[in-house]
Amino acid sequence: MRRKIRFSFSFVLQCLSYLAAGVCAASLIAIVAYILINGLPYVSWQFLFGKYTFYFDGRKADISIFPAMLATLLLVFFTLLFCIPIGVAAAVYIAEYTKRKNKFVKYIKVAVDTLTGVPSLIYGLFGAMFFGAFLKLGSSVMTGALTMTVMLLPFVIRSTEEALKAVPQMYREGSYALGAGRSATVFKIALPGALPGIFTSVILSVGRIIGESAAILFTVGWSAFAFPDLVHPTTNLSGMVYYLYQVNRNAAAAGSAVLLVLVVLLNVIAAVVGARLNRKRK
Amino acid sequence: MAVQPMRREKLRAVKERAAGIGFLCAAAFSVAAVFLIIVFMLIQGVPGIAEYGLFKFLFGKDWRPDLGSYGILNFIVGTVYVTAAATVLGGAAGILTAVFLGKFCPKFIRPLFGQLVNLLAAIPSIVYGLFGLVVLVPMIQKATRYRTAGVGILPSALILALMIMPIIVGISKNAVDAVPESYYEGAAALGASRAQAVFKVVVPAAKSGIFSSVVLGVGRALGETMAVIMVVGNNAANFPAQLVQPIRTLTTNIVLEFGEAGGELHRNMLLSTGLVLLFFILAVNLSITLAAQMRERRRAEKGKKPAVAAEKGGRADA
C-alpha cells in the first residue's frame, strides 16, 4: 500500500515538472509578447534618433532615447575598457599561474563569489559614495563605468577562467616544449584558445550594462536629454526607461521594447558563438 | 658576444616576473574590491545608526524623514515576506524545471530550452517591472474586484519568482546532470519507475547543488530593486499584513529617497538601510560557504568519495 502512494507521489512530481517547464516557457513568451505589443507601436524615428525637446507651455514633449543611447555607448566602451583587461588578467592568474591548492586563489574565489552575490543597488550606493563623492567624480559616465567594472568583474573572471580551462593542456605543453616561457604561452596559446569564450562574456556584459538600472541611477544619473559627456549626469537606456515610466507610460513601454530587442539580440549572438565553440571542441 | 644571450636570458626572466606580478595584481583587485565595498558601506552606514540608535532603527515602525523618525521594521518584514514567497514559488518551479530539463526533456528541445532560460535571466529588471505593472497588477485588481490597488507582496513575489527561476534552473540542472548515470540505472534495475528513479535517487544525490542554487536565488530576490519598485506600492507607513497592500522593501526605500534625501541624517539613514541589506546578503552568501565546508568535513571524516556538486554560477546551456 505504502509503495503505491510513493509511486504516485513521484509521478505527480513528474507531472509538476512538465507543468513548471511549461510555465517557464510561457512566461518568457508572455513577457516578450506583451512588452513588444505594448511598446513597438510607440517606437518611431523621432523616438529612436530624434532630439529630446521640451515644450514648456504645453504638456507635450518630443521624447527621444537617442541621448540615452549615446550615453549607453560611452558607458559600454569605458566599462569594457576597464573591466575586460582586469578580469581576463585575473582569470589568467587563477587558471595559468597557480596550483589548485594555492591559498591566495582560495581568497580570490571567495571574493569573486561574494562580489557575485552583492546586489546591484549596493554597487550603486558604493559607486556613488566612493567614486562619486570620495574620488569626486560626481554623477557621470566615468563613475558609472568604474562602478559597472567592479560589478561585472566576477562574471568576466569566471567565464574567462572557464574558457581557459577548456583549452587543452596539450597545447600548453607543446608550447613549453618549443622553449616558450609562461607569459608567451599565455598570450600565444591559452588566450587565443579562450578568445571565443571571452567574446561571449563581453557580449553578455554589454547586455548587462545596457539593462542595468539600480547601479546606474545614483552613479550616472536617471535622465538624459542632451548629448552626453564623461563628467555630467546622464543615464543609460534602462535608466531612461525608469525616467520615462514616471513621466509617460507609453514612452516607457516603447523604451522597454527597444531594451528587450537589444538584449535578445545580444543573447542570440552569444548563443551562436557559444554553439560554434562547443562544436569546435567536439 | 657570449654575454648577449645571457643578457637576453635575464631580460626574459624579468619580463616573466613582471607579467606574473601584473596578473597577480589584477587578481588581487577583486579581493580589494570586496574589502573596499564592505569597509565603505560600514563607514557610510554606521554613523547614522550610531546617531539614531540601533534598536530604534531596526525595530521602529515609523519611517517619517520629515518628522525625524527612521524605523525600518516595516521594510525588513516586507523584504522577508517578499523574498520568502518568491523563493518558495521560484524555487519549486525552478527545481522542477531543472529536473525536467535534465531528465524528462526530449533531446532536441534541450539546447533550445537552455537558451530560453538564459534569455529569461538576461531580461533587464526594469522590463520585468513594467511587465508586472502592465499585466500582473491589473489582473490582481480585477481579481480583487477593484477593492485594492493590485500592488504589494503578491505581484512582487510573482515577478521575483520569475526572475530568480533562471538562476535556480541553471545551477540545479548542472547538479542534476552531474549525478552519474549509474545512479539512475541502478534505481531502474531495482524496479523503480522513471519518475521514482529521478525523484528518489537522482534528485537527492544532487541536493547540495540544488540547495546552493536556491540560496543564490534568495540572494538575488533580497537585492532586487527596480522590478519590485514598480509593483510593490511603496507606502512606507503600512506594516505588511496582507498579500495585496502597498508596502515598501529595504531596496525600494533606498532608491525612492536617496536621490532627494534632504538632510545629512536622512542620507545616512538610507545608507544604513543599505548596510542592513548588505548584511543580509553576506549572511546568505556565508551560509553557502559554510554548508559546503561542513559537507567537505563530513566527507573527510567518513573518508567517502566526493559526492556530486554543481559548479556555482553555471549557465543553463553549459
Closest residue of A to B128, CA-based? Answer: A31
Q: How confident is the model at residue A52 (pLDDT cuts 50, 70, 90)?
A: confident
The DSSP output letter for B247 is: B
Closest residue of A to B17, CA-based? Answer: A183
Q: Residue A72's pLDDT is what? A: 94
Q: Residue A1's pLDDT is what? A: 45
Q: Residue B85's pLDDT is what? A: 96
- From chain B, pick out residues whose CB is under 8 angstroms from the CB of A108: 27-28, 30-31
Q: Does A182 touch chain B (CB under 8 A)?
A: yes
- From chain B, pick out residues whose CB is under 8 angstroms from the CB of A259: 124, 126-127
The Cα–Cα gap between A20 and B100 comes to: 8
Q: A271 vs B115: CB contact, 8 Å cut-off?
A: yes
Residue B121: CATH number of its domain: 1.10.3720.10
Q: B216 vs A252: CB contact, 8 Å cut-off?
A: no
Q: Residue B318's pLDDT is what? A: 40
Q: Does A125 touch chain B (CB under 8 A)?
A: yes
Residue B313 lies in a domain: no
Q: Residue B311's pLDDT is what? A: 46
Residue B59 lies in a domain: no
The pLDDT tens digits of the residues spanning A21-31 come to 999 999 999 99
Q: Residue B66's pLDDT is what? A: 85
- Domain count for chain B, please give it: 1
Q: B28 vs A108: CB contact, 8 Å cut-off?
A: yes
The Cα–Cα gap between A152 and A210 comes to: 12
The pLDDT tens digits of the residues spanning A242-268 come to 999 988 888 999 999 999 999 999 999
- The three cell numbers of residue A97 are 599561474
Q: Residue B71's pLDDT is what? A: 92
Task: Tell the burial category of A70 from Cβ atoms under 10 Å away from its Cβ (0-12, 13-18, 19+).
Answer: middle
Q: Residue B238's pLDDT is what? A: 87
Window 83-122 of A: residues touching B by CB (8 A cutoff) are 85-90, 92-94, 96-97, 104-105, 107-108, 110-122
Q: Residue A99's pLDDT is what? A: 73
Q: Does B86 touch chain A (CB under 8 A)?
A: no
Q: Residue A206's pLDDT is what? A: 94
The Cα–Cα gap between B35 and B38 comes to: 5
- From chain A, pick out residues whose CB is under 8 angstroms from the CB of B225: 119-121, 213-214
Total CB pairs under 8 A between chain A and B = 264
The DSSP output letter for B233 is: B
- The three cell numbers of residue B142 are 480585477
Q: Does A137 touch chain B (CB under 8 A)?
A: no
Q: Residue B236's pLDDT is what? A: 87
Measured between CA atoms, how close is B66 to chain A, in angstroms? 22
Q: How confident is the model at residue B129 (pLDDT cuts 50, 70, 90)?
A: very high
Q: Does A279 touch chain B (CB under 8 A)?
A: no
Average pLDDT, integer, range A33-53? 89
Percentage of residues of chain B with pLDDT beyond 70: 93
Please say whether the beta carbons of B285 and A114 come within 8 A: yes
Q: How confident is the model at residue A100 (pLDDT cuts 50, 70, 90)?
A: low
Residue B70 lies in a domain: no
Q: What angle do CA A247, B128, B149 make, to 5 degrees?
A: 65
Give me the interface pTM, i.e. the ipTM. 0.90
Q: A114 vs B285: CB contact, 8 Å cut-off?
A: yes
- From chain B, pick out residues whose CB is under 8 angstroms from the CB of A104: 27
Percentage of residues of chain A with pLDDT beyond 90: 54
Window 216-235 of A: residues touching B by CB (8 A cutoff) are 217-218, 222
Please say whether the beta carbons of B167 and B220 come within 8 A: yes
Q: Check pLDDT > 80 for residue B262.
A: no
Q: Does A81 touch chain B (CB under 8 A)?
A: no
Residue B255 lies in a domain: no
Q: How confident is the model at residue B314 (pLDDT cuts 50, 70, 90)?
A: very low
Q: Check pLDDT > 60 for residue A5.
A: no
Residue type, B156: S
Q: Range with the lowest mean pLDDT among A208-212, B61-65, B149-153, B257-261?
A: B257-261
Segments in chain A forming alpha helices (H): 2-39, 45-49, 66-92, 103-117, 120-127, 141-165, 169-177, 182-185, 191-211, 237-247, 249-281
Residue B16 lies in a domain: no
Measured between CA atoms, how close is B245 to chain A, in angstroms? 21
Q: B99 vs A217: CB contact, 8 Å cut-off?
A: no
Q: Check pLDDT > 90 for residue B290.
A: no
The Cα–Cα gap between A173 and B128 comes to: 48
- From chain B, pick out residues whose CB is under 8 angstroms from the CB of A158: 313
Using alpha carbons, select from A32, A89, A34, A59 the residue that is nearest to residue A263.
Answer: A32
- From chain A, pick out residues whose CB is under 8 angstroms from the CB of B123: 31, 211, 260, 263
The pLDDT tens digits of the residues spanning B69-87 come to 899 999 999 999 999 999 9
Enumerate residues 6+ apart whose C-beta is below 8 A from B305.
none
Q: Residue B292's pLDDT is what? A: 81
Q: Residue A157's pLDDT is what? A: 95
Q: A121 vs B37: CB contact, 8 Å cut-off?
A: no
Q: Residue B297's pLDDT is what? A: 85
Q: Residue B5's pLDDT is what? A: 66
Residue-averaged pLDDT of chain A: 88
Average pLDDT, integer, range B262-273? 88
Using alpha carbons, select from B27, B19, B28 the residue that is nearest to residue A183.
Answer: B19
Q: B33 vs A110: CB contact, 8 Å cut-off?
A: no
**Strand pairing of A61-62 and A53-54?**
antiparallel
User: Domain of B156?
Assistant: 81-233+280-302
Q: How confident is the model at residue B304 (pLDDT cuts 50, 70, 90)?
A: low
- The three cell numbers of residue A274 are 557559444
- From chain A, pick out residues whose CB is under 8 angstroms from the CB of B93: 20, 23-24
Residue B48 lies in a domain: no
Q: Check pLDDT > 50 for residue B312.
A: no
In chain B, count of helices (H) and strands (E)? 14, 2
Average pLDDT, integer, range A151-173? 92
Please say whether the beta carbons of B128 and B155 come within 8 A: no
Residue, of A110 and B277, whose pLDDT is higher: B277
Average pLDDT, integer, range B224-236? 91
Using alpha carbons, select from A272, A27, A200, A117 the residue that is nearest to residue B34.
Answer: A117
Q: How confident is the model at residue A56 (pLDDT cuts 50, 70, 90)?
A: low
The pLDDT tens digits of the residues spanning B5-28 come to 678 788 888 888 888 899 999 999
Average pLDDT, integer, range A209-232? 89
> H or E element: which one contains B172?
helix B153-178
Classify domain A61-281 by CATH number.
1.10.3720.10
Q: Does B26 touch chain A (CB under 8 A)?
A: yes
Using alpha carbons, select from A264, A266, A213, A250 the residue that is nearest to residue A44.
Answer: A250
